[in-house]
Structure 1
Amino acid sequence: MALDPIQIGVFFGLTALIGLLTWWQCSGGRARGSAIEENSAHDYFLAGNGLPWFFVAGSITLTNLSTDQLVGMNGNQMLLLAWWELAAVAGLFILAFVFIPVYYRNNCTTTTELLERRYNNPHIRALISIIFMLGSALIFLPAALYGGSLFMKTMFNTDVPLMLIALFFAVVGAAYAILGGLRAVAVSDTFSGIGLLSLALVVVYLALKAVDFDIVTGVPVERLSMVGGPDSPIPWPTLLTGMILIQVYYWSTNQTITQRAMAAPSIREAQKGIMAAAAIRLLIVPVIVVVPGVVAFKLYGDINDAAFGTLVGDILPPYLSGAFAAMMAAAVLTTFNSLLNSVAALYVVDIHQRYINPDVNVPRVSTIFSLVMTVAALALVPVYQNAESLINLLQELYGLGSMPVLSAFALALLFNNVDYRAAMAGVVFGVGLYALYTFWLNDAGIITMHYIHFMAVTFFSTVAFALGVNRIVFGKSASLRLGESRVAPTPAE
């Protein structure tokens, strides 16, 4: 089908406008004297601690809100998926009032730096960083490219190959991350976020109008219920087990998210930004990630991940659909470049400076690593084309790294006298346990427990295993850190 020139013109015009506004804001910030030492990893990856609260809020919101939410959650075509966003509010509160004060007090550039300080050893920091990097390379970067490309292909109803669209996102996203750094990413996130949230609410209104504001008639009750049954994507008991652990991991230990809050000039400014992001997550995001999907089910039937793009293409006039496509493209780009920026920070600070060259040229090595990750992500995009549901696949794969990593942070913050080798052994055990469940026990019907429940099993089993190794192998008795608030400093080398 031929592309509508109005859609294309509005799309490229708004995309260019966001880039221009971002350049203007970033160049203006430098002109006003916000000096950043280019070869200081802390300044380079945290924007010189110069992000005001509204850019923190905008960047956190749009880094998370991308096509894996809008396409993936709407692709389930049921209201139940809103629980992911509602539960996220609790995760943001924990980030603001538990983790952020600790990160700031210890002047952390990466979340994993906290682990080195607590365990007095750099190797566990490196292990967790490698898990984060593998998760981004194998799961989140290619999923972001695939979800964005699928949306554009279905919304524009075009025959342009999906991989060609993915290549466009990869090149532009990498350019943002490499040339602009975190400040450019955060600023573009905020401008794009305002447009995306506004137009997404317009989509919700027009979608409801298309069905005369009646999404009940003709829609099965299980697609409207917020109480998930045993066979649903989110059985209600999982809200009491693994769901909150997933939120703590994602919002409080995940470098991609916390890096934005750590780039504020103070704890209070960071907390203001996080609370603003929590308000957006509570009041706006749940509606836009589920209502269009249910409407699409009523109009087209069960069409999975094609639901959101198809609906938007049908209900929006060309000038608005082009504008919405531009905002969606911006969401894809910001998610992609945010992931690139965070994994580059982990590699440069936790691996390269520690084990290869402490006097590293930060921008140069960050650029090379970002390009390698971009190529790897593109190569894996075809894998996600075979997924029945993008969001369910992502959440299920999450447990491979999330619960073992969270166990290392829990041991570090809650216990004294834990040997770093015991914590590392626990992480390896946890990865293996969840992999065994995902790739064999569950498929073979040996363990049929829902994966969110098994995430909780993995977390507590990993903590118990590490404490056991700590006592039996290394002869150390861990004790709870009751009433303590400070983290032990890293010993001088």
Structure 2
Amino acid sequence: MGERLRRSEVSSTEISYFDVGIVGLYIVATLLVGVYVGKRKKDTDDYFLAGRSLTWPVVGFSLYATNLSGASFIGLAGAGYSSGLAFYSHEWVPALVLIVFVVLFLPFYMRTGVTTLPEFLERRFDDRSRTVLSGFTIVTNVFIDCAIALYAGALVFQAFFPDMPLWLPILVMAVLTGVYTVFGGLKSVAVNDVIQAIVFIVGGAIVFFAALAAIPSWSAVQEAAPGGELGIFQPANDPEVPWPGVFTGLVVIGLYFWCTNQVIVQRTLGAKNLDHGRNGAIFGGFLKLTGIALMILPGCMALVLYPNLSNPDEAFPTLTLDLLPAGLRGVVLAAVLAGIMSTVAGVLNSASTLLTIDFVAKYRPHTSQRTLVAIGRATAAGVIAVATLWATQMHRFGTLFVYLQSVLSYLVPPIVAVFLFGLLWKRTTRQGAFWTMLCGLVVGAGGLLANEVYGLLEIQALYAAAILFAGSSLLLVAISLATEAPSDEEVRTYVWRPQLWRAESRELATKPWYVNYRLYAALLFVTTAAIVITFA
């Protein structure tokens, strides 16, 4: 089949004023909702945790939206075009990790009433671990998470508007997101996340069904896929998603991102109670599974329609501009903007919470609630300003942008080891936790430079994550055994025991079946397994 449309023939004029108007209306609606919801936020619980009032649908949509990026459409559709379904592992593995989160991690976070995850580490270990984790998270929030989201989003808009200067979309997205995040706190962010998640799903579904209607047959998609078939699992030597790496390194990264990362977990900490937090996280897991249809399969179908694209990342813009009429293109552009704004808003809220609670409130405990909220707002404004300036300069580093996207593989394994052993092994000591995180971060940073930047090593990033996690675990165990064990009274509240599972089982037996989170967790597991087996 010949190429229907060369991406180079698509010009920015194909985005009509009608499309731009739809995006404009979406922007206005987002700002109005954010400002309205954010009114009368006067204490830290209100501002940073939405008054712990979020219901499970809001939690689920917010988790999903915060994980999105405008670049998800471009990147995952491009991955579908070049690699088939291999990158779907980045969507289904988190669904299973969220089951671990609701069973193991979330109950301890919510029962202790913490506002930040570094605060939980301080209660389990000491203030040194809290400082290391909080400092690490703030730095990565500003210079990696937020900056990459803005930069990648700007690249997406340049795909639709080639003549647009890079700094313009970065500035516009930063200002728009900053307004409602700084003003309204987590409640504004979460409510807007619901809207943005729905817009994102609708935009992705429009492109999916348009592409499905355009292809000659499903067998043509399977034949066009790399190797002549659509399959999730790739050989062990695959440079991007080797199957052993899926079950090792990708799981480690997933545990960090969905179980120990302030940006994500803060949504569940703002839930009304443990049930709403758990059910919201499980709902978010179901939403993650939609990625195969919304983002990856459109790229697979684009390979049939446009087999000679010079760059796989052109797949999604080409589908949008070629198959959709004016108006629907605007909805898709709004969906792209929604993904960017959700990611940036989540990062801003996380960074302001960490700096205010883990540093200002900790070291100046008599600071008033109103002052802490003001500091949180100022911090969010400062973060978006610095991240914006950094994002406008990222093009100067060339392929370093690609390396930064792999940073989690090298830096987060020691953090995951400390949380896991801290929850599962009462013998884990404060010395073990602190030195494992500190040494692990230093070694991980060295590995990132040696492997990804200078090419001194040749280890696939997911394998590197697994190796670093194993090394961090061994170091943690060795130091813990060599130092004084904590008393049972010190750690009893923070360590999982079989008695907790049995007590919870007795409690659930007294409740109606439809409020039993274990039923929904089992359904999520079965659904995930069915999809993976179908496309294995």
Matched, 1:311 2:325: no
Unaligned runs of 5+ in 1: 487-493
Tell me the amino acid that sits aligned with residue 453 of structure 1: Y
Deviations 1:281-312 (A, max 9, x none): 12x12222212223334414241434323332
Tell me the amino acid that sits aligned with residue 127 of structure 1: V
Deviations 1:329-370 (A, max 9, x none): 122111101110011111111112223564151222112222
Asked if the contact 2:199/2:334 (under 8 Å) is kept, the reply is no
Asked if the contact 1:256/1:339 (under 8 Å) is kept, the reply is yes
Match of 1:11 among 6, 23, 27: 23
In the TM superposition, 1:261-340 aligns within 5 A as 261-282=268-289, 284-298=290-304, 299=306, 300-340=308-348
SS of structure 2 residue aligned to 1:57: helix
Deviations 1:90-129 (A, max 9, x none): 111112221111111101111222111111x222111101
TM-score by length of 1: 0.88
Matched, 1:130 2:135: yes
Match of 1:373 among 377, 383, 386: 383
Asked if the contact 1:151/1:308 (under 8 Å) is kept, the reply is no
Asked if the contact 1:404/1:459 (under 8 Å) is kept, the reply is yes
Segment drifting more, 77-86 vs 404-413: 404-413
Measured after TM superposition, the shift of residue 394 of structure 1 is 5.0
Match of 1:205 in 2: 209
Match of 1:489 in 2: none
CA distance in 1, matches of 2:478, 2:207: 53
Identity, in percent, stands at 24
Measured after TM superposition, the shift of residue 313 of structure 1 is 2.6
- Number of aligned residue pairs: 472
Match of 1:439 in 2: 449
Match of 1:383 among 372, 379, 394: 394
In the TM superposition, 1:80-99 aligns within 5 A as 80-99=86-105
- Indicate how the Cα distance of structure 1 residues 444 and 180 shifts in structure 2: closer, same or farther if over 3 A, else same: closer
Match of 1:226 in 2: 232
Tell me the amino acid that sits aligned with residue 138 of structure 2: M
SS of structure 2 residue aligned to 1:318: coil
Measured after TM superposition, the shift of residue 442 of structure 1 is 5.8
SS of structure 2 residue aligned to 1:14: helix
Segment drifting more, 424-433 vs 220-229: 220-229
- Indicate how the Cα distance of structure 1 residues 485 and 397 shifts in structure 2: closer, same or farther if over 3 A, else same: farther
In the TM superposition, 1:92-241 aligns within 5 A as 92-119=98-125, 121-155=126-160, 157-213=161-217, 214-221=220-227, 224-229=230-235, 230-241=237-248
Tell me the amino acid that sits aligned with residue 373 of structure 1: V
Deviations 1:237-271 (A, max 9, x none): 11221121211111111111111111111111111
Asked if the contact 1:146/1:385 (under 8 Å) is kept, the reply is no
Tell me the amino acid that sits aligned with residue 93 of structure 1: I
Tell me the amino acid that sits aligned with residue 50 of structure 1: S
CA distance in 2, matches of 1:222, 1:246: 30
RMSD, matched Cα: 2.6
SS of structure 2 residue aligned to 1:232: coil
Match of 1:63 among 66, 79, 82: 66
Asked if the contact 1:418/1:478 (under 8 Å) is kept, the reply is no
Match of 2:77 among 74, 77, 81: 74
Match of 1:421 among 396, 407, 431: 431
Tell me the amino acid that sits aligned with residue 331 of structure 2: A
Tell me the amino acid that sits aligned with residue 344 of structure 2: F
Match of 1:409 among 415, 419, 422: 419
Match of 1:42 in 2: 45
CA distance in 2, matches of 1:207, 1:336: 29
SS of structure 1 residue aligned to 2:92: helix
- Indicate how the Cα distance of structure 1 residues 438 and 478 shifts in structure 2: closer, same or farther if over 3 A, else same: farther
CA distance in 1, matches of 2:499, 2:463: 31
Match of 1:491 in 2: none
Asked if the contact 1:470/1:477 (under 8 Å) is kept, the reply is no
CA distance in 2, matches of 1:246, 1:137: 19
CA distance in 1, matches of 2:268, 2:60: 8
CA distance in 2, matches of 1:240, 1:164: 40
CA distance in 1, matches of 2:26, 2:410: 38
Tell me the amino acid that sits aligned with residue 483 of structure 1: R
Asked if the contact 1:82/1:289 (under 8 Å) is kept, the reply is no
Asked if the contact 1:261/1:273 (under 8 Å) is kept, the reply is yes
SS of structure 2 residue aligned to 1:212: coil
CA distance in 2, matches of 1:328, 1:105: 37
Tell me the amino acid that sits aligned with residue 148 of structure 1: G
Match of 1:249 among 231, 256, 263: 256
CA distance in 2, matches of 1:418, 1:232: 36
Asked if the contact 2:361/2:372 (under 8 Å) is kept, the reply is no
Tell me the amino acid that sits aligned with residue 71 of structure 1: I
Tell me the amino acid that sits aligned with residue 92 of structure 1: L
Measured after TM superposition, the shift of residue 418 of structure 1 is 3.5
Tell me the amino acid that sits aligned with residue 329 of structure 2: S
